Homo-oligomer: A and B are copies of this chain.
Amino acid sequence: MGRWEPDAAGRLRTAALELHVERGFEQTTVAEIAERAGVTARTFFRYFSDKREVLFGGSEHLQAAMVAAVESAPAASAPLDVVAAALTAAAEMIGGNRAYAEQRWSVISANADLRERELMKMESLAAALADALRGRGVPDPRAGLAAEAGIAVFRVGFERWVSGPTAELADVLAAALADLRVLAAG
């Protein structure tokens, strides 16, 4: 046992989400989040590089899972099928916590600065996927394109999933990818 309550970062994440739901992101100061978590604002910035970052905790795990799915896909798979495997991996990781996803989404979509950060995370994801595709031998303009297209599918599908009626995330993403294929063929 340490000198302090354990898991300061987790407490900060919880406190932040609570306060953001209660009164909105802009109306919440870092000092207030820190106070609810039982630390000071200085400690907040030791765990999170800025005020927004506290809402984007699991993004490295999601990225790692999607990259792993790309790397472990059959060697013969076409690029977009590999991307499909990455989307399935993402759905497995996120699709189970719809209530949490919805709450977090309501906070993020209500604030422009948070939407910006979300886009940045998606772009980082796309860059990692593109790298992984290049590692499989997909040549350069196509690797980036397949990755970006995959992220576009993810974003459109995810938004439909959190906003719309009950459905499995994996199914929504698969349908969106199928739609993209139809579009490109038409």
Contacts and interface: CB of A to CB of B under 8 A. Distances in A.
A26 to B, nearest CB: 13
Contacts of A155: 148
Say whether chain A's binding surface is mostly helix, strand, loop, or mixed.
Answer: helix
Nearest to A172: B141
Size class of the contact patch on chain A:
20 to 34
B142 A183 contact: yes
A141 B184 contact: no
A61 to B, nearest CB: 21
A183 B149 contact: yes
Contacts of A128: none
Can you list the 4 inter-chain pairs with the closest CB atoms, starting with the nearest?
A184-B184, A148-B152, A119-B119, A116-B116
Interface of A: 78-80, 112, 115-117, 119-120, 123, 141-142, 144-146, 148-149, 151-153, 155-156, 160, 175-176, 179-186
